[in-house]
Chains A and B, each alone.
Chain A
Amino acid sequence: KQEVTQIPAALSVPEGENLVLNCSFTDSAIYNLQWFRQDPGKGLTSLLLIQSSQREQTSGRLNASLDKSSGRSTLYIAASQPGDSATYLCAVKTGANSKLTFGKGITLSVRP
């Protein structure tokens, strides 16, 4: 059974800092991995999707990497801003027709 872990559960950084959010998964035979952002009281917004054949994906200040052999993905946020404050969740899909398995998320606070 796939398990996804995100540690720490919460993180507070000063504005302008580059930061890395970690995601680990137990079964390396994944189909793809997706990073989401969730603002308080809101739904999940997709940030980046990495297919199993890819090593990384970039969107603006965000870069997500995938290392299947070690069961890890990282979300890199460059030059963090207070507007980046949110909960970040990673989710793994094991097969083409399988469901998503979610981590519990990392709540990020960027201090002005």
Chain B
Amino acid sequence: NAGVTQTPKFQVLKTGQSMTLQCAQDMNHEYMSWYRQDPGMGLRLIHYSVGAGITDQGEVPNGYNVSRSTTEDFPLRLLSAAPSQTSVYFCASSSHTPGQDYGYTFGSGTRLTVV
């Protein structure tokens, strides 16, 4: 099925460890983004990309790094995990081509706990 695939689904990290959350889409969407969802805070944009080789910061980029070498993949890297990064992370993609914008498609999420 076409869509956005996120791995892993669950992860526990120790403070200071690094890891990469994977995101892949097979809809040829040029726009991809990462959100974190926390109770009472809603969904907050971390980083986004409007195409391969182009990334930009969202509302809460500190402690995270991204790159976009292909249209399909948009990994999110935690450089040195902190307890404040305990959250649920969602990847989303969409087409911004006029006439082909059918809205955003979200992945199923990665639940990250930093101890």
Contacts and interface: CB of A to CB of B under 8 A. Distances in A.
Interface of A: 32, 34, 36, 41-46, 49, 51, 89, 91, 96-97, 99-100, 102-105
A97 B31 CA distance: 8
Contacts of A96: 96, 98, 101
Contacts of A49: 102-103
B3 to A, nearest CB: 10
Contact of A32 (B58, B90, B101): B101
Interface in B91-115: 92, 96, 98, 101-109, 111
6 contacts: A32-B103, A34-B104, A46-B106, A91-B104, A96-B101, A99-B45
A43 B37 CA distance: 10
Given A51-B101, A100-B33, A102-B42, 7 more contacts: A46-B104, A46-B105, A91-B104, A96-B96, A97-B96, A100-B104, A104-B40
